[in-house]
Structure 1
Amino acid sequence: MHIGDWNETPSLLFSTELPTDGTVTVHALQAPGQGGWLAGASGDSEANLDSGPVQENVMPGIQPPPEGDLIPEPVPGCQVTPKYYTWFQETLGHTTAAGLMAFTGSGKATARHLPDQQGRKRFDGFEHAASTSVQDISHELLGTTYAGTDHVFRLNGPRVEAFSGVDASLFGSLTEGRVEEYRAVVHTTRHTRPLLAWDEKWGGPVSVHADGSVLAIRLLPGQGRARR
């Protein structure tokens, strides 16, 4: 993965070999470039994360600079050139939003942040009540309301409920496509997260991440302490 012009990536470059037999090999190469900020010539970003996702067909390959009149063949890899900086920033923002919405179980909210090449059709059409006005898949955890989805499974015998979701106010921003607003709020409140605590009302541990997502787990009611 190479971001910027040739030799302008200002960090380590990693390459991983996944052989069919033998061990996994990771190569690390120091890149002394001075780039790194995904900004235009003026130094400012033109990305608008509230705009819809854009599908680009970027050809694979990292292009070495010309050698006189000769243009070398691209080397294997993926290169994000300055031409695609804005698109790349917006894609990263939308992909993050889509991941959070998938974590809540909201198919339509996930699909709105993905182009077809990232599987939009896989999520479009499926929905749950938490993204409508009903909001019946939500819980108040550690004093904050979260919208999401829950699953029941067995853990070494006892039946366990797991709830995954996102802060309800942030959930509303992302379902309506206000990614810029979501990022601003998360950045402002980053000092209050992450958080890991036991919620007596919920009846189990609750883990809140810096991005506003939550994972909570508890034994289903009716199971005695002996089984616990």
Structure 2
Amino acid sequence: MANASAQVEAVHVGPWNQTPVLVTSTELLGQDGITVHVLHAPGDGSLAVALDGVAADADRALDDLNIYPDVRIPDPDGGEEQRVSGFQVPPEKFVWFRRALARAGAAGLMGFTGGGEPTAQYLTKRQGRRHFEGFTHAGTGIIQDVDVEIDGVTFVGTDHVFRLNGTRVEAFSGLAEDLFHHLRDGRVEQYRRDAHALRSSWRSTRFVDGWDGPVSLHEDGSIMAMSLLPEPRRRHRARQRV
């Protein structure tokens, strides 16, 4: 519990000494069973869509704010506040922080499907936007150039061929087509609404046909599918006698 509390305080969201989220710490006590400690915030657990009537529109570009990395502890006697190491997001920056998280998540999904430019649109300079702008190297210079249909669902992304313990393997990473189009065109809010509505259907999906290999589908609509590839025929050079 002490470790969990320390992590919450190192990255502090909101005013000092208020818990912004549910934090748990679990003890495995052998014959004595399991003990779960819970540190919770006030409220009914619902997530706010807007803050103080201001929409946190993740479709808008994110500003690079220079927030000083510290946590401010007010003096109980009204004196000068104390500053300790950490990172604090004050309430007036909640809208910005929510947008930062949403756009970073969108960048991660676009990077997962391949392609630098679609990823760069969601990043600021400090987040490494320049690394994804234009052609850089084989890993980030790839574009989303593969469509795969599995059990009637079309996914857009890219594939890689590599060797795993000497065996040739194809790995496809992508995103459900409609969700992919939202993020490619900068519609983060629409993506979040549609992805949330599809969560229950992804949970019940079982890919048993349409792909020869293991398939992993996340609730955000992203997919990783792998399959074995046949070994290519090799040409053997004729040995020359000396």
TM-score under structure 1 length normalisation: 0.79
Mark the runs of 5 or more structure 2 residues left unpaired by the alignment: 1-10, 26-36, 136-140, 233-242
Structure 1 CA distance for aligned equivalents of residues 164 and 24 of structure 2 = 41
Instruction: Give the alignment partner of residue 97 of structure 1, picking from 103, 106, 116.
Output: 106
Range that drifts further, 150-159 or 180-189 = 150-159
2:75 — aligned with what?
A: 66
Once the 2 structures are TM-superposed, how far is the Cα of residue 178 of structure 1 from its aligned partner? 0.1
Instruction: Give the alignment partner of residue 34 of structure 1, picking from 19, 42, 51.
Output: 42
Shift in alpha-carbon separation, 1:32–1:211, aligned structure 2, 3 A:
closer
2:19 — aligned with what?
A: 9
Letter in 2 for 1:93: A
Mark the runs of 5 or more structure 1 residues left unpaired by the alignment: 15-28, 131-135, 224-228
Q: Is the 8 A contact 2:157 2:173 kept in 1?
A: yes
Aligned CA RMSD, in angstroms, stands at 2.4
Structure 1 CA distance for aligned equivalents of residues 162 and 206 of structure 2 = 22
Paired residues in the alignment total 201
1:166 corresponds to 2:175? yes
Structure 1 CA distance for aligned equivalents of residues 177 and 40 of structure 2 = 43
Once the 2 structures are TM-superposed, how far is the Cα of residue 202 of structure 1 from its aligned partner? 2.7
Alignment of 1:175-190 (within 5 A): 175-190=184-199
Q: Is the 8 A contact 2:150 2:207 kept in 1?
A: no
| Larger-gyration structure (1/2) | 2
Structure 1 CA distance for aligned equivalents of residues 200 and 40 of structure 2 = 33
Q: Is the 8 A contact 1:196 1:206 kept in 2?
A: no
1:24 — aligned with what?
A: none
3-state SS, counterpart of residue 60 of structure 2: coil
3-state SS, counterpart of residue 88 of structure 1: helix
Once the 2 structures are TM-superposed, how far is the Cα of residue 197 of structure 1 from its aligned partner? 2.8
Structure 1 CA distance for aligned equivalents of residues 108 and 184 of structure 2 = 12
Deviations 1:157-207 (A, max 9, x none): 2211000011121111101110000001011111111445333x3322222
Alignment of 1:91-170 (within 5 A): 91-126=100-135, 127-130=141-144, 136-170=145-179
